Structure 1
């Protein structure tokens, strides 16, 4: 396979070119959550807003997105049907989970990665002092068909003018919008349904689902650190594998894979070369390398250099917490 520089650039989403949506989810008007910015980088993600810009529509078996938030801004409690993995690009973040967000929590620093179990309510907030950014990997081409919100989130949103329809679309009553004929409001989960959502503690979750950046850097000095996968540090089959590469663990020569590969630098600038062409990837950039393309990676500057490499697998898009815990 061959690609021109122009064709490759269409497969790269630069950090500085990301287009945010501030009305992506039902809590967009709720105080404490109303300053969020949502980004859909590869695939449509789980946004509930028609205003969401999708940078690359073709999906490789998973979706890539991001959330940007100022200090003390939080993302409300919700659950996913498929895998949701975050790594911190900028800032310091607190992740919490459970019906009311009190079952457990963990704080992540830059480069740390969290493979959040499906089937539990989760939320997160920027607890740093500056605008923060977390990058997300969502399992499946359709990212599981949306999110499931904790009942209090839907009720709070309604008080601030946003109604989520059963069709998964948002309607802003402050703008005079109403549900279309035949579309009912998204039903709130009842107590029986809520009992199906586990309440694992931090001791249940953190050792099996969180990997610390500096531990991964130490492991990746001579070979890529296998972060998420069936034989990785975080053993799981979410529909994709995740590795961390450093200056010492990049392939020594050009390589080709029959899988889709997404490159996401964390630190340093990386030179990507193929077919006699070269481009540079910076932290926050996302590059979708197609199967069959011979390419090579080289850090372009001295100092710390690391990137996450995500490849699609034939596994389903994420196991439930119950299956994982068993």
Structure 2
């Protein structure tokens, strides 16, 4: 796979507006869903997958206008959201009324498997090409993150609007004349027993799974931040003594880590290799990477999947700080090898 194919530009994302069972439910019908790395959890086979190479985690995205809701559900793996743009509310509980917390651009939330969650964009961008829209960068654990478990009311609304979720996780759209195949059956509505395996989490509890950008523990003594004008913060993951990384507040096992790296203007992280693929997401500013002597310029909202073993360096050639969020496989990834 070429480096160009490993680069997913924000302005070239291919959205699916009919990815899930709640696609036509009032208030949820303007969602754009993106599957950037891995199969994701979309229920519509028409969902475009940008990069199919297994990474040990999945990367996705959601773009929604203010007032647009993603219905209550849970996952089989940890789900981490970074608010890239806009302001978002996250709600817990079967009815979305147990707890609520607001996140702004740069904030991170890690939602464990046993919590029903929904989210709503409450404020989009104030200007620009995507005025009125907010964007979430999402990470789900494992190569196969499994299927979504929806709350019972989601099934009821979907039926009203012609959508049937099958037991294999795919959608049938009866409004388009589709019928349930002979060898398939509808997904059973989530039972009381399934609901009982989920925790009741209030607004105070949600604070424990959120890391606001103003609370990042920036370090300048890690292997990646040993260079002038560079800082690194652990956002999701355990301590890594070999990298001199402190544990994040969100320090339980995810099967992946997320780190933030900040580069001042003209800062350079020298050439190095890694033993696992890493995904670079540009949250602020721009980043110039040199990967195996090929230069790549990344802008806000872009994703880049760096191949295992490739020699790479990071440089901020812009005038403003650059902040990137980096995801790597494993609870404690291998240390970088500087060339």
The TM-score with structure 1 as length reference comes to: 0.90
Q: Is the 8 A contact 2:147 2:169 kept in 1?
A: yes
> In structure 2, how many angstroms separate the alpha carbons of the residues matched to 1:95 and 1:160?
25
Q: 1:246 to 1:174 in 2, by over 3 A?
A: same
* Structure with the larger helix share: 1
> In structure 2, how many angstroms separate the alpha carbons of the residues matched to 1:215 and 1:256?
30
| CA deviation after TM superposition for structure 1 residue 119, in Å | 1.4
Q: Is the 8 A contact 1:217 1:246 kept in 2?
A: no
Structure 2 gaps, min length 5: 125-131, 221-228, 240-246, 333-339
Q: Is the 8 A contact 1:21 1:52 kept in 2?
A: yes
2:326 counterpart of 1:309: yes
How many residue pairs end up in the alignment?
308
Secondary structure, in 3 states, of the residue corresponding to 2:297?
strand
Secondary structure, in 3 states, of the residue corresponding to 1:198?
coil
State the partner residue of 1:19: 14
Counterpart of 2:254 (choices 230, 238, 242) is 238
State the partner residue of 1:294: 311
Q: Which has the higher contact order (CA 8 A, sep 6+)?
A: 1
What is the root-mean-square deviation of aligned Cα atoms in Å?
1.8
For residues 23-62 of structure 1, the aligned pairs below 5 Å read: 23-62=18-57
2:155 counterpart of 1:138: no
Q: Does 132-141 or 176-185 show the bigger shift? A: 176-185
Cα distance per residue 1:3-47 (max 9 Å; x no partner): xxx921111101111000001000011110011110000112000
Cα distance per residue 1:192-213 (max 9 Å; x no partner): 3311111112222312x21112
| CA deviation after TM superposition for structure 1 residue 305, in Å | 1.4
Cα distance per residue 1:278-325 (max 9 Å; x no partner): 11111111100011111100112011310001110168xxxxxxxxxx
Q: 1:100 to 1:264 in 2, by over 3 A?
A: same
Structure 1 gaps, min length 5: 1-5, 316-326
> In structure 2, how many angstroms separate the alpha carbons of the residues matched to 1:76 and 1:118?
16
| CA deviation after TM superposition for structure 1 residue 103, in Å | 1.2
State the partner residue of 1:228: 236
2:5 counterpart of 1:10: yes
For residues 27-106 of structure 1, the aligned pairs below 5 Å read: 27-106=22-101
> In structure 1, how many angstroms separate the alpha carbons of the residues matched to 2:35 and 2:68?
19
Q: Is the 8 A contact 2:264 2:320 kept in 1?
A: no
Q: Is the 8 A contact 1:217 1:244 kept in 2?
A: no
State the partner residue of 1:212: 212
